[in-house]
Structure 1
């Protein structure tokens, strides 16, 4: 069964960088238990399983399910980018439509200097406040003093297909020093229905460094996280921290030895967030 699993890494142009994902381009014969077993066997933060879309006549529409090693997740950005690039290599560049548990996600793929880049458009995003007790518990699990937070970027829960707790570090050193209580943070995340915790440090107005603990998925940290990038773009715009139309760059994975780069695009008048990146096969 796993002979049909492709391995790609997203948000990078080199197999040694970015976030690896397993991809099954024809998962029609697989049940949920099969998909979970494949994802667990791979050990990547998520894998994507592709089947024909609801309208069989639309050859560019697909149903996509995402599994971490521990559970199914509603949406995954890096596996979306990886799956779209894998499809484009076999079926051509242009637009695709992914039907996910979170909703419809349009994806376009183009060739840029010999590398395929995919751009996903998120479902409608939103943000919400974080209860004081929940914030206190999150900081305790991370072993982050409240004084290490950046007051200019307040804690919030952000959603653009999956829920993420956004916490901003005041310094790059604080972001780099990540050693947290795995089970304690996982328990809080399960209670709040969080997919990751989006830890960020702002380098300048349009450049951010990010990290994403992912204990609920069975891994300590997600290397490069497209779903969280989309949620973070919505967070920044809704709080007025960037203009309504903005082009942002997020760097992630360097602290894990798998550097990746995400481009986040906000368009005035469109609440959705676009996240772009390259993807390449893993030999």
Structure 2
């Protein structure tokens, strides 16, 4: 069968540039998962979002990389919501998206330089993993104990990943992981990957790199869910849950994602995440 039309948009741009090229497909019930994997491989992007619009009030989105299906993808949610706004012809939309049994409230607004999208990430589970500081994962990143600025934490919005604070921006840029070793260790321990970051002196901005070879993405240009996890960690550790994170510079694709965390009545930390999407030339969708 012929491939369905594919829109490739740049999610989480910074100052109108860069962003993560993300494929978005309006899903077809005749597609098999094998078809979806094949389409993902042919797009040449790290992630593809397949949107089922048969339930118009709350579309369902599935995410694929070349390695398989993901339970969730934050910048994929941002890209998908921007494409849905484009399809509707509206200037603003408040709605929701469903993926892997979770529903996310979303807001999309047309701006002069693209589409601004926010979504509510939901509860973030946090746990300490101080053992990782001297463990195989840190070694697989090519780091040493002295490079680590704070205790390593596990954060999960549904899928756990490590938050690794490094001592400065230079250390962050110098990281050269052993991707095969890192993939093996992450799979063994059940982690999606490692979100390494360096906070600014004010702790309101950060630079970050996300390494996730276990899911087929050696380095992510933008990882919105991990930014939400970082906001939750900062709220828990310092009381300030607002952060803007820059990624993608080492890949020459600058990206920017903002997140704001707060506490629910039960004390559970939740995060709201936003970024800009460049739709590029007019998209043609079926």
Match of 1:62 in 2: 59
Question: 1:233: how far off?
Answer: 1.4
The match for 1:163 is 160
Q: Judging changes above 3 Å, is the alpha-carbon distance between structure 1 residues 135 and 237 closer, same or farther for their aligned structure 2 residues?
A: farther
Could you tell me which residue of structure 2 aligns to residue 40 of structure 1? Answer: 41
8 Å CA contact 2:133–2:152 kept in 1: the answer is no
What's the TM-score once normalised by structure 2's chain length?
0.89
CA displacement 1:6-54 (0-9 Å, x = unmatched)? 101111167850111111123332222211111122232211111136x
Task: Say which is worse superposed, 190-199 or 69-78, in terms of deviation.
Answer: 190-199
Unaligned runs of 5+ in 2: 282-286
> 1:185 & 1:114 partners in 2: Cα distance?
37
**Aligned equivalent of 1:266:** 261
Alpha-carbon RMSD across the aligned residues, in angstroms, is 2.0
1:159-191 C-alpha deviation (Å, 9 max, x unpaired): 123321110110111100121111110011112
Q: Distance in 1 between matches of 2:129 and 2:110?
A: 41
Of 197-206 and 14-23, more deviation after overlay is shown by 14-23
Q: 1:242, CA displacement in angstroms?
A: 3.4
CA distance in 2, matches of 1:12, 1:103: 26
How many residue pairs were aligned?
A: 274
Alignment match, 2:243: 248
Secondary structure at the aligned position of 1:122 is classed as strand
Secondary structure, counterpart of 2:136 in structure 1: helix
Structure 1 segments, 4+ long, off by >4 Å, are 13-16
Q: Given the alignment of the two structures, is residue 143 of structure 1 paired with residue 138 of structure 2, yes or no?
A: no
Structure 2 partner of 1:208: 206
Q: Post-superposition shift, 1:127? A: 1.1
- Deviations, residues 136-160 of structure 1 (Å, cap 9, x unaligned): 1111101101101113xx2011012
- For 1:99 and 1:63, how far apart are their aligned partners in 2? 5
How far off is 1:267 after superposition? 3.4
Q: Which moved more, 1:132-141 or 1:39-48?
A: 132-141
In the TM superposition, residue 134 of structure 1 has moved relative to its aligned partner by 7.8
Q: Report the secondary structure of 1:40's partner residue.
A: helix
Higher mean displacement: 188-197 or 12-21: 12-21
- TM-score, normalization by structure 1: 0.90
User: Quick one: structure 1 residues 265 and 30, their matched pair in 2 at CA, closer, same or farther if it must change by over 3 Å?
Assistant: same
